[in-house]
């Protein structure tokens, strides 16, 4: 078998495409493979498929292909243009690459796998022997391809959360498909307009099918959901609610620790922060010992902690009226605790009680979103931050969108 026939077979070319020349560059460690369409052979119109005469040829183009042994491999072809009576002069589709791509489909598949495995685009670029821009272009094309293929039919439970973008008060809003465990899309800012645009990405028939949305008690998000998804229930995410109480407990601890220090006791609450913040199920032996030592000391932080832990029982209820009775009793305790941070959180929860109790009917949370937040943070750290929001969005969808990325 001649070398040209062998390479044609390895490339999966079918007649009349043919390999006409193979040129190795031993010094440059590269291999050029020239592919041609025979003169006088009609070709299919890329629009309608009708066989048409060849009109002319485009200037030669190169496509990066998978390496041959240690040699960087390039495919070279002067792509013919056919003259279709219906659609005019059109370039033939080449079987080895997508339209406008400078990489073969096999190389893109490999590059995507490297990007999924590498810790950053810079490291992927080094492994592939490409520039950062070339790698980003492959990633961008993969996300675009995946979004065009994506099917959101059957999505019933969504989640909206915020994620920091740049330093300071710069945020992105993220939409999750909770049933599909995937990021649907990302928009800049956490305003009502941003959340409305985010929900508007969903096709109308998908929006009509959304039964419930897990979300924080952030008014711009609530307004956007009510306006865009009027039939969907709003479920205040329990992990956000617990985080508010946990922060309140920490405020009480810090203030009490300062007071104790002024009274000459520097040691009582020193190093106890995580004992009060951790879930008791995750306590270390040291945490458990610290709690046992302090629980009968009459500390304010001990009362705040007890109020926080008791609130957790609300998630165990099945009937709404029973949960309302529980909350009323808990609310009286919290607001009469004389602990300002706890009182503030309790009053906020009372204002949003209806949407807290929807959890009993739609037991959804943004727990999966919190998992994605860790992954997004890792993406940011590996990239050493993003200044370009479009790049940030592409990276999140590439790694968290569960898209069909390969060509």
DSSP state of 38: P
Residue 42 has pLDDT above 80, yes or no: yes
> Contact 52/88 with Cβ under 8 angstroms?
no
Kindly state the tokens that stand for 177.
């498909």
Residue 384 has pLDDT above 70, yes or no: no
Residue 244 pLDDT: 96
- Look at 55-69, 165-179, 233-247 and tell me which has the smallest mean pLDDT: 165-179
- Say if 287 falls within a structural domain: yes
The residue-averaged pLDDT of 238-247 equals 93
> Which residue, 257, 261, 191, 195, is CA-closest to 229?
195
pLDDT tens profile 85-99? 999 999 999 999 998
The residue-averaged pLDDT of 159-166 equals 85
Taking the C-alpha atoms of residue 357 and residue 330, their distance in angstroms, rounded to an integer, is 14
> Contact 221/240 with Cβ under 8 angstroms?
no
- Say if 71 falls within a structural domain: yes
Angle at 238 between CA 233 and CA 240, to 5 degrees: 110
Does residue 99 or residue 153 have the better pLDDT? 153
Taking the C-alpha atoms of residue 238 and residue 356, their distance in angstroms, rounded to an integer, is 8
Residue 163 pLDDT: 86
60, 80, 96 — which closes off a domain?
Answer: 96
The residue-averaged pLDDT of 198-202 equals 96
Helices (H), ranges, 2-150 = 3-11, 105-117, 121-128, 132-149
Residue 385 pLDDT: 62
Other residues' Cβ atoms within 10 Å of the Cβ of residue 220 = 17
> Contact 303/343 with Cβ under 8 angstroms?
no
Q: Tell me the pLDDT of the chain averaged across its residues.
A: 92
- Say if 74 falls within a structural domain: yes
Residue 397 pLDDT: 96
Residue 191 has pLDDT above 80, yes or no: yes
Residue 1 has pLDDT above 50, yes or no: no
Position 377 confidence tier, pLDDT thresholds 50, 70, 90: confident
Phi, psi of 388, rounded to the nearest 5 degrees: -105, 115
- Look at 158-167, 174-183, 196-205 and tell me which has the smallest mean pLDDT: 158-167
- Say if 108 falls within a structural domain: no
- Say if 1 falls within a structural domain: yes
- Say if 199 falls within a structural domain: no
H or E stretch at 390: helix 389-400
- Say if 220 falls within a structural domain: no
Taking the C-alpha atoms of residue 323 and residue 312, their distance in angstroms, rounded to an integer, is 11
Is the pTM above the cut of 0.85? yes
Residue 366 has pLDDT above 70, yes or no: yes
Range of the domain at 322: 238-360
Residue 337 pLDDT: 96
**Which residues of 232-366 form beta strands (DSSP E)?**
233-236
- Say if 75 falls within a structural domain: yes
H or E stretch at 43: strand 43-44
Kindly state the tokens that stand for 183.
């990021």
Phi, psi of 316, rounded to the nearest 5 degrees: -85, -10
Residue 399 pLDDT: 93
Kindly state the tokens that stand for 309.
């832990």
HSE-up (13 A, CA, CB side) for residue 28: 9
54, 69, 96 — which closes off a domain?
Answer: 96
Kindly state the tokens that stand for 239.
């992990």
Q: What total number of domains does the chain contain?
A: 2
Residue 221 has pLDDT above 90, yes or no: yes
> Which residue, 59, 1, 70, 61, is CA-closest to 33?
61
- Look at 34-48, 98-112, 160-174 and tell me which has the smallest mean pLDDT: 160-174
Residue 30 has pLDDT above 90, yes or no: yes
Residue 80 has pLDDT above 70, yes or no: yes
Helix (H, G, I), strand (E, B) or coil at 201: coil
């Amino acid at each position: 078998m001649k070398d040209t026939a062998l390479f044609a077979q390895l490339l999966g070319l079918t007649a009349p495409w043919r390999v006409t020349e193979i040129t190795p560059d031993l010094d440059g460690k590269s291999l050029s493979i020239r592919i041609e369409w025979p003169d006088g052979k009609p070709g299919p119109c890329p629009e309608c498929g009708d066989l048409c005469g060849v009109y002319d040829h485009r200037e030669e183009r190169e496509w990066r292909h998978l390496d041959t042994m240690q040699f960087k491999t390039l495919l070279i072809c002067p792509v013919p243009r056919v003259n279709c009576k219906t659609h005019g002069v059109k370039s033939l589709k080449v079987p080895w690459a997508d339209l406008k791509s400078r990489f073969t489909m096999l190389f893109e598949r490999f590059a995507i796998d490297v990007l999924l495995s590498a810790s950053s685009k810079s490291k992927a670029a080094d492994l592939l022997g490409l520039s950062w821009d070339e790698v980003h272009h492959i990633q961008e094309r993969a996300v675009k391809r995946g979004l065009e293929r994506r099917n959101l039919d059957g999505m019933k439970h969504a989640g909206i959360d915020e994620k920091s973008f740049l330093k300071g008060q710069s945020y992105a809003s993220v939409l999750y498909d909770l049933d599909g465990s995937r990021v649907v899309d990302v928009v800049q800012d956490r305003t009502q307009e941003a959340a409305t645009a985010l929900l508007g990405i969903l096709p109308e028939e998908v929006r009509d099918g959304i039964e419930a949305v897990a979300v924080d008690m952030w008014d711009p998000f609530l307004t956007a959901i009510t306006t865009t998804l009027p039939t969907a229930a709003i479920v205040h995410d329990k992990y956000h609610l617990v985080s508010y109480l946990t922060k309140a407990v920490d405020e009480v601890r810090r203030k009490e620790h300062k007071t104790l220090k002024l009274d000459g006791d520097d040691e009582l609450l020193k190093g106890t922060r995580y004992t009060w913040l951790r879930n008791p199920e995750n306590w270390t032996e040291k945490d458990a010992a610290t709690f046992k030592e302090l629980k009968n000391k009459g500390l304010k932080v001990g009362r705040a902690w007890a109020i926080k832990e008791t609130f957790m029982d609300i998630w165990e209820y099945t009937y709404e009226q029973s949960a309302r009775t529980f909350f009323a009793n808990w609310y009286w305790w919290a607001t009469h605790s004389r602990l300002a941070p706890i009182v503030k959180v309790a009053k906020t929860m009372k204002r949003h009680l209806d949407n807290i109790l929807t959890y009993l009917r739609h037991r959804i949370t943004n727990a999966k979103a919190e998992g994605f937040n860790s992954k997004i943070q890792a993406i940011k750290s590996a990239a050493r931050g993003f200044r370009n929001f479009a790049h940030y969005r592409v990276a999140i969808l590439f790694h968290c969108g569960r898209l069909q990325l390969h060509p």
